[in-house]
Chains A and B, each alone.
Chain A
Amino acid sequence: MAELWLLLAACALATYFWRWLGVLISGRLDGESEAFAWVTCVAYAMIAGLVARILVLPTGALAEASLLERASGSAAALVAYFWLTRRNLFAGVAAGAIAIWLLKLAALQS
């Protein structure tokens, strides 16, 4: 338990580091530099990698849904977000959650 709070504190500090650095050097860093471009790529790749991993190879509760169910839920979210609404984030997220819930209920009925 104490270990978990320690981990949380370390993670909070790790996040605050960038905020602190940003205030410290605001106005001095070159936003066009190569190092900055690389950091941007890594940041995007890491978040995308995490989300892709959660959807393709989930652990915990999400592992109870099959790959097909997860793919259908994602498709419902994307359709609701990009085509049915004008990029309404709440509608998209809700559509995905409701789709996977209905699929699971249908699987139980059959």
Chain B
Amino acid sequence: MLIAGYLGFGALAAAQGIPLWVAVASTAAIWALPGQLIFVEMHALAAPLLATVLAVMLSSARFLPMTLMLMPEMRDPRHRAWTYYVVAQLLSLSGWTMAVARFPDLPRRERLGWFYGFTLVLMGASALSSAAGYLGADRLTAEARLGLVFMAPMYYLLILLGGVRERSAALGLACGAIAGPLAYLATPAWSVVAGGLGGGTLAYLILRQARRHG
């Protein structure tokens, strides 16, 4: 399922004029599809570097809670301290979900090795998919390419809507979906940051209000 997202990402990068190697390298270097989408889209908009970096940074804030939760599960006195900082780069939404499911069946000292193996295969497959999507986009008819480019936003639409379990997620998504396009009309270059901060803060305030009266 990650493959579909990265096929779409490759096609999108090709459509926005990003060189192939930069698109593939971004899969290993950023290793977060929303951040990569922001990277490609904001580059196409000629957004200021600071705005792009800030938007990517805010979009990947979810790695903080994900890492916080997973690291204690992998800690073992046998591992050197720096290996945790390497494994943190390999963490992704798919790897995290699979690890949370598998860890209870694995002895603690084997978890880190398993995680390295699984996430490296995942990253390799995703890098290949980005390249395939990129190269495929050039060889397809305009209509089929449109379908491929359409895969990236669809992937996120479904992941986001399918993953809603809490009120904070639903409200954040709703406020963001409205604030994002509005912010884009006001300031294309800063729209991702402004829409996220505006929509997210609104969602947070509504939630806090609801809790007080709830």
Please list the residues of chain A having a beta carbon within 8 angstroms of any beta carbon in chain B: 1, 4-12, 14-23, 25-27, 29, 31, 34, 36-57, 59-62, 64-65, 70, 73-74, 77-78, 81-82, 87, 89-90, 92-94, 96-98, 100-101, 104-105, 108
Contact = CB atoms under 8 A, between A and B. Distances in A.
A42 B88 contact: no
10 closest residue pairs by CB, A with B: A49-B180, A22-B67, A46-B196, A45-B176, A44-B172, A42-B200, A48-B176, A45-B199, A101-B147, A19-B88
Contact of A8 (B1, B22, B34, B41): B22
B129 interface: no
Given A40-B65, A92-B154, A15 B15 contact: no
Given A7-B49, A41-B171, A96-B151, A53 B146 contact: no
Nearest to A16: B89
Most interface-central of B155, B157, B193 (chain A CB within 10 A): B157
Interface in B144-198: 144-162, 168-169, 171-181, 183-185, 191-193, 195-198
Contacts of A31: 65, 68
Interface stretch (B25-33, B98-106, B110-118, B119-127): B25-33
Nearest to B67: A22
Range class of the B interface residue count: 35 or more
A105 B140 CA distance: 13
A62 B59 CA distance: 22
Q: Chain B's interface: helix, strand, loop or mixed, by majority?
A: helix
Contact of B168 (A37, A65, A104, A105): A37
Most interface-central of A46, A52, A53 (chain B CB within 10 A): A46
Interface in B41-67: 41, 43-45, 49, 52-67
Given A22-B63, A41-B168, A73-B154, A10 B49 contact: yes
Given A8-B22, A14-B60, A15-B35, A41 B177 contact: no
B61 A20 contact: no
A91 to B, nearest CB: 10
Nearest to B145: A61
Contact of A18 (B39, B64, B198): B64
Contacts of A82: 162
A26 B67 contact: yes
A36 B147 CA distance: 37
B200 A46 contact: yes
A57 B181 contact: yes
B72 interface: yes
A48 B173 contact: yes
Contact of A11 (B53, B88, B158, B191): B53
B179 A89 contact: no
30 contacts: A14-B35, A15-B56, A16-B89, A19-B89, A23-B84, A26-B68, A27-B68, A41-B203, A41-B207, A42-B61, A44-B160, A44-B168, A45-B172, A45-B199, A47-B196, A48-B173, A49-B196, A51-B180, A56-B181, A57-B181, A60-B15, A61-B12, A62-B146, A89-B4, A89-B162, A90-B4, A93-B4, A93-B8, A94-B4, A100-B146
